[in-house]
Structure 1
C-alpha cells in the first residue's frame, strides 16, 4: 500500500509557539516537488508528544492540502491506549489516509500488551496502519512473533522498521513475504535496508535534502545501485544526525541552513547551542559544499 520516500516531517512553530501553517505548507510543498511519495506527520521528529490532539489534526489538515493527493499518515503516540483510540477516531474523521502507531511510548509493554494495544487503536480508527517498531527510542520491540499475532488483522499493512538491526528487514520478509510493506525508519541504514528488500523509506533528513533522498530511493528502485551508493556515502554524515537524542534540533538546524526554514522547537527542547551547534553546522555546510550532481531520474522506472 505504501512505498517510496515518506518524510517524517517537522512541525513548524511561530515565535509565540503556535503552529506555523504557512511555513509547513511551504516545506511540505518542497517535498512533493522533489518527488516524495507521501507525508507522515506528528511523529518523533514532528514533536508529536508535545502537541495537543487539536494541533495534530491541524497539522494533518495542512499536510493533506499540500500533498496533492498522495497519502498522509498521522502518528499516534499516546501514553494511554484510550487516548490513542480517541485520536485514531478523530484522525479517521479528519481524512487521514492511515495511521502510524507507536505501541506504547511511556510504559514498556510486554508482547501480549503490545498486541492488544495495537489492535485496540487500529480498530478504533479503522484505517490502514503502519506499525512503528523502535526499540531504541521507545523500548518496545515489535518482533516477528508479535507481527505473527497481528497478521490476522487486515488493518496492519506496513511496518516502519527502526530496530537498528539490519537483519530484521530480511527476517520480516522471510516470515511474511509481501504481507507487510517494510519501510526503513533509520536514515543511516536506508541504503542497506533498500538493498535487502525494504520498499520504502520513512526519512528524516529528507526535510532538508529532499532531492538527494528521492534520488537514492529511485536509483535503488531502478537497479542503479552504484549511483545510489555514491550519493549515500556523501549523505552519511548528514543521515547520522537523525540517530541522536537531538534529532529534532539537528534536523531543524539543517532545514534552516539548506531550505531557509527556522529552528524553533517546543520546550523543553531548545535550539542547539555551543559546541554541539557548531559541529552540526560544520557537517551541514561541508555537505552542501561537496554536494554531488544528481543523475537523471525517471519517475516511471
Structure 2
C-alpha cells in the first residue's frame, strides 16, 4: 500500500550488511529483516544516510531495496532516493515503486540556503519523480546543513500533496514538532506523519510533543518500539525508565564519525548481522572503543535482559 500520513510506530533505518571483503551480505539482510519484524517494526527505511547508500552501485541499491520489500511483505518500505541530480533520483524512485515500495525519502542537497531554494527544490523533485509517488522530507540539518523552519516544511507539504511524512532530525527539534502540530490544530497544515531520528536520542520527549514514532537505527530497535508503544499507552514513567537505561549507549552511538561503526558492532554482537564491516571508505572501532561498548552493554544488561550477550 502507498505510504500515507497515518504511518506510525517504528521504521528502523536499515544498515547495509557487508562481508569483510566489501560484498553485500544477503544472508545478513534476511536475518536483519527477521529481527526487525520480531522487534515490532511497523515498516522500514533502506538506503538512508546510515545505510551507506552512496557506496552502492545502482543495481545493488535496487536489489537491496527489492529484498527488503519482499521480506517486509505487507508492511511499508521507504527507500532513500536522494541523489545529486534528478535523473538518478527519478530512475531509482520509479524502479523501487514498481517493485512494491510504499514511498521514497528525499533529502535536500547541502547547497540550499534560502527558503525559496528549499521549497523550489522539492517542487522540482516532485516534478522529476512524479506526483504519484508518496515522499518523505528528510530534515537533518546537522549533517545536510540545510535549515528548514516549520513554516518552510508547512509550505512544502501544502504545495506537494504527495508529501505524507517528515523525518524529523533537527537538534534541538522539540519546538519544531510542537510548531507543526500547532499548525495542524489551527487548520493551516494538513495531516502529516512525523517520525524522528537522531539515533533515538530525544525519542522520549519527541513522542510527548506529538511525534508518531521513530525512524532511526539504534542497535536496540526493540527499545525504540517499546518507548513508542508505552508513550502511546500513557505509561510515561515506564517509557522514560526504559529510555534512561539505554541513554549511555545511545549517547555513545551518536559520536560523529564512528556512530555507524558502533551501531554495526552492536548489531553484530546481537546477531542481527554477521559482520560489522563497512564498505570503504569506512571507519572501524579500536580495541579500546570495542571495550567501552562492551562495558556499556554489560551495564545495560542489568536493566534490560536483551543486552545480555
Mapped contact 2:32–2:272 kept (Cα < 8 A)? no
The residue number in structure 1 matching 2:176 is: 168
Partner of 1:296: none
Give the Cα separation in 1 of the matches to 2:23 and 2:114.
37
Alignment pair present for 1:180 and 2:192: yes
Tell me, in whole angstroms, the C-alpha distance in 2 between the residues paired with 1:163 and 1:64.
28
User: How far 1:43 moved relative to its partner?
Assistant: 0.5
1:102 equivalent in structure 2: 107
Find 1:114's aligned residue among 106, 113, 118: 118
SS at match of 1:232: helix
Instruction: Give the drift of 1:275.
Output: 3.1
Distance in 2 (CA, whole Å) between partners of 1:111 and 1:284 is 43
Residue deviations 1:150-172, cap 9 Å, x none? 11211101101111122111011
Q: How many residues align?
A: 291
Aligned to 2:74: 69
- Contact (CA 8 Å) 2:28, 2:272: kept in 1 or not? no
**Aligned twin of 2:144:** 138
> Cα–Cα, structure 1 residues 92 and 82, in superposed 2: closer, same or farther, change >3 Å?
same
Runs in 1 of length 4+ with deviation above 6 angstroms?
none
- Offset at residue 292 of structure 1 (A): 5.7
Partners in 1 of 2:305 and 2:97 — Cα distance?
Answer: 41
Q: Tell me the residue number matched to 1:269.
A: 282
Pick from 31, 38, 48 the counterpart of residue 36 of structure 2. 31
Match of 2:45 in 1: 40
CA contact (8 A) 1:241 1:251 kept: no
Q: Shift of the alpha carbon at 1:146?
A: 1.5
SS at structure 1 position matched to 2:21: coil
CA distance in 2, matches of 1:249, 1:162: 20
Shift in CA distance, 90/204, structure 1 to aligned 2, threshold 3 Å: same
Q: Aligned to 1:254, which of 244, 255, 266?
A: 266
Q: Cα offset for 1:225?
A: 1.0
Measured on the aligned residues, the alpha-carbon RMSD in Å equals 2.0
Residue equivalent to 1:153: 160
TM-score, length basis structure 1: 0.90
| Secondary structure at the counterpart of residue 213 of structure 1 | helix
**TM-score, length-normalised on structure 2?**
0.87
More displaced stretch, 154-163 vs 120-129: 120-129
Structure 1 residue matching 2:161: 3-state secondary structure: coil
Output one character per residue of 1:227-274: Cα deviation in whole Å (capped at 9) or x when no partner.
111100101112224423222111001111222522010111132114
What is the CA deviation profile of residues 32-74 of structure 1, one whole-angstrom value per residue up to 9, with x for unaligned ones?
1221100000111111122222222111111112213100000
Q: Secondary structure at the match of 1:160?
A: strand
Contact 1:209/1:258 (<8 A) preserved = no
CA distance in 2 between counterparts of 1:292 and 1:229 reads 17
Deviation at 1:109, TM superposition (A): 4.3
**C-alpha displacement at 1:199, in angstroms?**
0.7
SS at match of 2:167: strand
Q: Is the 8 A contact 1:49 1:77 kept in 2?
A: no
Distance 1:182 1:158 in 2: 6
